[in-house]
């Protein structure tokens, strides 16, 4: 069984259930990815989540929820005085979303310091894959980013495949220049990059998937998958280049985890042995399912029923 370590932040999510009523769950970009990855490939890959939480009831509930998804939590560290970040989702009638965040006191910002203090090389085996996002980078305390890159480079030297989703959020960065400097390090380190055109339009003013492909071709990246809403998905590797058309979704309810569910289910499909084209088609179907429901994480039973149907 393959093993992947996913680095980042899980947060308390508040999403509208009905007028005046909010429902609580746990999410965040890498959290959503981890859940969908494990659900789509339960026998093919071990998913380990690397983060930091508090010692409060909400943090304990988060760990329990991950364990219920059969996600390994042994790399989740506990901070004695900090807790989980919180975000609130507001949806437009078309399904687009806006967010309000309260994450300044998030324990996950300290994950690399806690990892460095408690990590034991003698008991840690390098995973087959490591995944992080632009948000994973953005939330880190500035003085811990060197620890992060030391960790990533050490894993890569041991043969770990490095996977990066740019997932650009301007409000999380002190400046565009600072973000670009960190992304430059990420592109140089990565074997697989999973950008959306929106990321590169907002950060680099690139206006087409072709322009993004050309931009990333300057780096030694083995595989690139470029997403652009309902437009065909571009796959590029050293061996081939594909343009995979996807079926548009007519009834969009909530796009919160559109990219995260795609990325997680794509990695799951590859872990199960599917080739890139079939993995993209599978991931597009999963993402289409997710955006037709409220919230980032679908009810597990509902999701698994749809997953069984899609396999036939």
CA dist., res. 145 & res. 137, Å (int): 8
What's phi and psi for 128, nearest 5 deg?
-70, -35
The label of the residue with tokens 């492909």 reads: 213
Measured CA to CA, the distance from residue 169 to residue 173 in angstroms comes to 7
Annotated catalytic, 70?
A: no
The helix (H) or strand (E) run that includes residue 155 is: helix 145-157
Asked if 283 and 36 count as a contact pair (C-beta separation under 8 A), the reply is no
Q: Is 237 exposed, middle or buried (0-12, 13-18, 19+ CB in 10 A)?
A: middle
Instruction: Output the six-digit token pair for 185.
Output: 């390090």
Two structure tokens written together for 198? 């929106």
Annotated catalytic residue: which of 72, 165, 254, 260?
260
Contact yes or no for 151/112 (Cβ under 8 A): yes
Q: With contact defined as beta carbons under 8 Å apart, do 86 and 102 qualify? A: yes
At residue 66, the 3 state secondary structure works out as helix
d(CA 153, CA 160): 9
Q: How crowded is residue 40: how many other Cβ atoms within 10 Å of its Cβ?
A: 25
Cross-strand pairs, 25: 13
193 touches 164 (CB < 8 A): yes
Q: Which two tokens stand for residue 24?
A: 């609580």
Active-site annotation, residues: 260
């Amino acid at each position: 069984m393959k093993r992947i370590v996913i680095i980042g932040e899980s947060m308390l999510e508040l999403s509208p259930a009905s007028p005046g009523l909010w429902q609580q769950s746990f999410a965040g970009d890498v959290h959503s990815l981890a859940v969908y990855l494990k659900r789509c490939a339960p026998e093919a890959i071990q998913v380990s989540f690397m983060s930091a939480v508090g010692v409060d009831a909400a943090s304990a509930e988060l760990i329990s929820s991950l364990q219920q998804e059969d996600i390994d939590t042994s790399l989740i560290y506990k901070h004695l005085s900090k807790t989980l970040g919180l975000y609130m989702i507001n949806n437009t009638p078309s399904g687009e979303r806006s967010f309000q965040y309260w994450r300044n006191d998030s324990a996950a910002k300290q994950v690399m310091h806690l990892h460095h203090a408690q990590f034991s090389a003698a008991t840690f085996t390098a995973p087959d894959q490591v995944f992080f996002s632009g948000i994973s980078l953005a939330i880190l305390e500035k003085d811990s980013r060197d620890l992060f890159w030391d960790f990533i480079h050490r894993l890569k030297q041991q043969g770990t495949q490095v996977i990066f989703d740019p997932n650009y959020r301007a409000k999380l960065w002190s400046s565009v220049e600072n973000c670009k400097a960190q992304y430059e390090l990420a592109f140089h380190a990565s074997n697989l990059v999973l950008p959306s055109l929106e990321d590169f339009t907002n950060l680099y003013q690139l206006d087409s998937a072709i322009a993004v492909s050309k931009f990333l071709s300057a780096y030694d990246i083995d595989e690139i998958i470029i997403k652009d809403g309902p437009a065909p998905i571009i796959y590029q590797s050293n061996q081939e280049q594909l343009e995979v058309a996807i079926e548009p979704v007519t009834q969009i309810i909530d796009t919160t985890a559109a990219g995260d569910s795609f990325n997680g289910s794509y990695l799951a499909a590859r872990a199960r042995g599917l080739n890139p084209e079939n993995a993209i088609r599978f991931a597009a179907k999963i993402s289409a399912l997710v955006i037709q429901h409220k919230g980032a994480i679908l009810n597990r039973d509902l999701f698994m029923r749809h997953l069984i149907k899609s396999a036939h």
